[in-house]
Amino acid sequence: MGVDLGTANTLVYVKGKGILVRNPSVIAVDAENQSVIAVGEKAQRLGGRQPSNILVRYPLRDGVITDLDIAYKLLQQVLEQAQISRSLFPPRLIMAVPNGATTIEQRALQDIAEQAGAKEVFIIDEAIAAAIGAGLPIDKPLGNMIVDIGGGTTEVAVLSLCGVLSSQSLRVAGAQMDDVIYQSLKRDYDFWVGEQTAQSIKHQLGSAEFNSQWDNVKMEIGGCSLNSRLPKQLTLTGMEVREMLHKEVALIARTVQQTLEQTTPEIASDIYTNGLMLCGGGSLLKGLDEFICRETGVFVHVAPNPMDCVALGIGEILENRQRWERVWKHWKRQ
């Protein structure tokens, strides 16, 4: 069984069955006894609307666990959802982690997986899983580049023969973009919104590249005045949101450029010829592929199922172990 336990979403792939669970990485618990009230979308809908006796928690930040107890409860719930039969043996789990995760952070992931009932836990580099899930031939003697923009981290890696040639893990991704919008509205507009509203603004108005059609889109937003706390409405344009996100988008592009600069001429030539691959939820930001292409001079593809690439990559390894034997050998068995 493969698990992509991400900052924004958690996906579970079961061998022979495909992706059976796709939930937001959020859980609602009773404040008094910590019992689980809701998980995933149901818990997410409670955010900002729940009474004081219900806590809505996101147990991961920047791609790593920040609350062990809540992360354990979340993983336990999604594994139960993925179990086909209660009589199954304890599962062996393959889990993806960001390249920049420390040994302690990897150990925390293993601990909660074992608490949740896993018999064995294997750790795989998130960039490798994403590249396989995006369809890149990383088992060939050919330079491939993957840029996985998730909820908490952006993973940039150059791969060949199932190995990582150069990589960077940047803790700037979808959640940080939401926070930039949230903070900009408070600072520049005296306007206070919730996390879900900030995310909705990013999805509907956010872009990385100038485009008159995107820039002129308007959106009416409900919130309240930061000073008076009274209800208030605000009209935002795409151009305003694009300007809010420019620093984060430019940082991602610069990280891609720096990673490219670490490659050999042969690998750089392969990437220039074949382009680089974008995946993760952040890759859906309008114009991001064009912006990175303009900044690096390399053509950019967006994966067909960008939000599922890590889980699909783990699934591909599970289904075709012989082809990916070299990847198996690189796993760290904890």
pLDDT digits (tens, 9 = 90+) for 207-240: 999 998 999 999 999 999 999 999 999 999 999 9
Domain boundaries, the chain: 2-128+311-333, 142-172+250-306, 174-244
> What CATH number labels 142-172+250-306?
3.30.420.40
Q: Name the CATH architecture for the domain at 174-244.
A: Alpha-Beta Complex (3.90)
Give the C-alpha separation, 148 to 135, whole Å. 13
CB 98 within 8 A of CB 88: no
**For residue 330, what pLDDT is reported?**
59
Percentages helix, strand, coil for the chain (3-state, rounded to 5) are 40, 30, 30
pTM: 0.92
pLDDT score, position 117: 83
The reported pLDDT for the residue numbered 189 is 95
pLDDT at site 333: 44
What are the phi and psi torsion angles at 235 (to 5°)?
-105, 120
Residues 6+ apart with CB under 8 A from 205: 214, 217, 219, 236, 237, 238, 240, 241, 242
Q: How far is Cα 309 from Cα 305, in angstroms, rounded to an integer?
A: 6
Yes or no: say if 39 and 77 are a contact pair by the CB < 8 Å rule. yes
Identify the three-state secondary structure at position 2: strand
Q: Do domains 2-128+311-333 and 142-172+250-306 have the same CATH topology?
A: yes
State the pLDDT at residue 87. 44
pLDDT (0 to 100) of residue 334: 40
Sign of CA dihedral 61, 202, 177, 94: positive
207 DSSP assignment: B
pLDDT along the chain (334 residues), means of 10: 92 93 93 91 88 91 87 90 65 85 86 87 91 96 96 94 92 94 96 93 96 94 92 96 97 96 95 97 96 96 96 94 77 47
**Torsion over CA: 218, 220, 221, 227 (sign):** positive
Summarize pLDDT for 17-67 with one digit per residue, the tens: 999 999 999 999 999 998 999 999 999 988 888 888 999 999 988 878 889
- Is there a contact between 306 and 283 (Cβ–Cβ < 8 Å)? yes
Q: Is the dihedral of CA 23, 109, 282, 320 positive or negative?
A: negative
- Class of the CATH-defined domain 2-128+311-333: alpha beta
